[in-house]
Structure 1
Amino acid sequence: MEFLQLQYFQTVARLEHMTKAAEELQIAQPSLSKTIARLEEDLGVPLFDRKNRQLRLNDYGKLFLERVNRMFLELNEGKREIAERAHQGQTQITLAVSIPRVLPDLLSSFLKEFPNVTFQQVLESTSSMKSQLEKAEIDFCISSVPIEGEEIVWEPLMTEEIYLIVPPEHQLAGKEKIFLHEVKDEPFISMNTGFGFRNVTDEFCREAGFVPNIAFEGDEPGVIGELVRQGLGIAFIPEISLLHKTNPYPNKLSIIEPKCQRTIGLGWSKRRYLSKAGQQFRQYVIEYFSRLSL
């Protein structure tokens, strides 16, 4: 069994198409087919179900792919660990978030203490972050929905209240508290489907007995606040978004029922090697949120 065979198998298993795999690997299809056939011969079982030109990973293939993926993951993590030691420390941290509001103050305060660290940051949905953690493609994620998995650690950081904001001329603008069912017929301005905050707020509405009428979806909280200010709808807003806000959101309302809260947490993979910079960041994030006063 050769290393190259396993790389080829991984690609064919992902695409389940010999021609596409050969094109991606930039080798001739007959050569790739022979390589996979030799691998199956070495293992003594077929890894794919074949029907005409269709390939489907079978149970043997799925079992073997899991081991192969784990092997390549360990090799990659070994390379990262050696690179850190050889170059006196890896200083880049890869971070996925579903809550961009927390980043500016968190990262700027961290970089004041650790100026040599750099960040690669992406805004992702919860499902995307889970996949990236499982594949050990990122160091950390910060999420408002717990991310669970056999090799994933999710550390709760803080619990915050979720409010509603309404336009200045809205009939509810003079109130301080409402029941959520009071706005069941209102147009909502919301985060995109798939983002943690959207999942949380949709569940609040279900608890209140209705499905929200989504008039506009987006991924930028500042834009959502401005659309509410322009009278285009109402929106949920997390308490953390109200911190250090120079241009306050309009007419904040507390929700009496259901209880509208979310817990923000930090996730990482047990499989991914954490550099010294990564360990420092993890500890800093935990301490930062413990100090955060809402």
Structure 2
Amino acid sequence: MELLQLRYFQKVARLQHMTRAAQELHIAQPALSQSIARLEEDLGVPLFHRQGRQIRLNSYGQAFLAKVDIALHALEEGRREIHDMNGTERGHLHIATTTLARFSEMIRAYMEEHPEINLRISQVSTEEAIPLIEAGEIDFCYTTPPIDKPGIGSVPLLREEIFIAVPPHHRLASHTLINLSEIADEPFIGMKEGTRLRGMMDQFFSSRGMKPNIVCEVDEPAALRSFVGAGLGIALLSACKREEASPLVLLPINDPNCRRTIQLAWLEKRYQSQAARSFREYVTHYFAKDAKS
């Protein structure tokens, strides 16, 4: 049994697709298939159910994958710690983000202070972020909504207010506060289902036993603001888009308390290099200082 076989098996097991695994591993599919076959021969049991070109882990494969994940993770942690000790790991960070809210400004400020850091950034969904964290494939995830799972550490960075955006001449434009119950029948411009802002909208309304009257769905905030400005409806808008909202009027929501939390999350058992520890301290301080200003 070779280390490379275990890495190949892990990739095939995660993707459940031999061709895609071969492409990501940059090897020929026949060579990958032979490697998996030799591993199964060594173990004395098949690890996959095979039906034509489709494969999926069987009970043996699931049990073996759990141990392979632990073993490869431990080896990677050892490699990182040794490299950190001799100084070769200090300049590398992989950050995933589920939102760009306030992220670009923070990263730009960080890179200006730490130009020696080799930074890799991946934009992912929350559903994609959790397995990446648990597999130890990223150092941190900048995320909203917060991730609350055993083994995943986190620190809240900021709580951001969510507003109701209305056109300047809307009947509600002169209000200083608004309750969702007052706008239950208003036509809403909403983000498409599956987006974070749409999820928040549905959650806020559901908490008061209501459903938003959505007349138009869009896939980007710029379109949402455009349709609101055209008078087609009103919408939820986060505080980070406040400067881009003009000439729309943003109304604070009194009930319910409509806010979202952005956090920095990481795998607690993952070894953190000097660069990772420094980054976490920087980001925490950055948003704490910003909250006081």
CA contact (8 A) 1:98 1:195 kept: no
For 1:266 and 1:17, the matched residues in 2 are separated by 32
For 1:98 and 1:19, the matched residues in 2 are separated by 28
Partner of 1:215: 216
Give 1:25-104 correspondences, 5 Å limit. 25-28=27-30, 32=33, 35-50=35-50, 55-86=55-86, 88-104=88-104
Partner of 1:289: 287
For 1:249 and 1:287, the matched residues in 2 are separated by 33
Q: 1:277 aligns with which of 266, 275, 278?
A: 275
Offset, 1:247: 6.3
Partner of 2:205: 205
Partner of 1:141: 141
CA contact (8 A) 2:81 2:271 kept: yes
- CA 1:140–1:233 in structure 2 vs 1: closer, same or farther (change >3 Å)? farther
Partner of 2:127: 127
Partner of 1:168: 168
Q: Secondary structure at the match of 1:273?
A: coil
For 1:176 and 1:58, the matched residues in 2 are separated by 60
Offset, 1:269: 1.6
CA contact (8 A) 2:18 2:29 kept: no
Paired amino acid for 1:166: V
- CA 1:143–1:278 in structure 2 vs 1: closer, same or farther (change >3 Å)? same
CA contact (8 A) 1:144 1:264 kept: yes
Deviations 1:174-224 (A, max 9, x none): 2222221333333433445434343222200212333331613234x4554
For 1:96 and 1:241, the matched residues in 2 are separated by 21
Q: Secondary structure at the match of 1:62?
A: helix
For 1:218 and 1:253, the matched residues in 2 are separated by 23
Q: Secondary structure at the match of 2:280?
A: helix
Q: Secondary structure at the match of 1:277?
A: helix
Paired amino acid for 1:141: C
Corresponding pairs, count: 289
Partner of 2:258: 260
Offset, 1:272: 3.6
For 1:168 and 1:195, the matched residues in 2 are separated by 27
CA contact (8 A) 1:8 1:32 kept: no
For 1:183 and 1:277, the matched residues in 2 are separated by 48
Offset, 1:59: 1.6
Offset, 1:52: 6.5
Offset, 1:17: 5.3
Offset, 1:226: 4.1
Offset, 1:68: 1.3
Paired amino acid for 2:209: G
CA contact (8 A) 1:126 1:194 kept: no
Q: Secondary structure at the match of 1:173?
A: coil
CA contact (8 A) 1:224 1:235 kept: yes
Deviations 1:44-66 (A, max 9, x none): 44323455765431122111112
CA contact (8 A) 2:225 2:245 kept: no
**Structure 2 spans left out of the alignment, 5+ residues:** none
Deviations 1:55-86 (A, max 9, x none): 43112211111221232333334444444455
109-118 or 257-266: bigger deviation: 109-118
CA contact (8 A) 2:177 2:253 kept: yes
For 2:22 and 2:116, the matched residues in 1 are separated by 42
- CA 1:215–1:247 in structure 2 vs 1: closer, same or farther (change >3 Å)? closer
CA contact (8 A) 1:132 1:138 kept: yes
CA contact (8 A) 1:165 1:249 kept: no
Paired amino acid for 2:144: S
5-14 or 81-90: bigger deviation: 81-90
Offset, 1:250: 1.7
Paired amino acid for 1:216: E
Paired amino acid for 1:110: Y
149-158 or 82-91: bigger deviation: 82-91
Structure 2 length normalisation: TM-score? Answer: 0.81
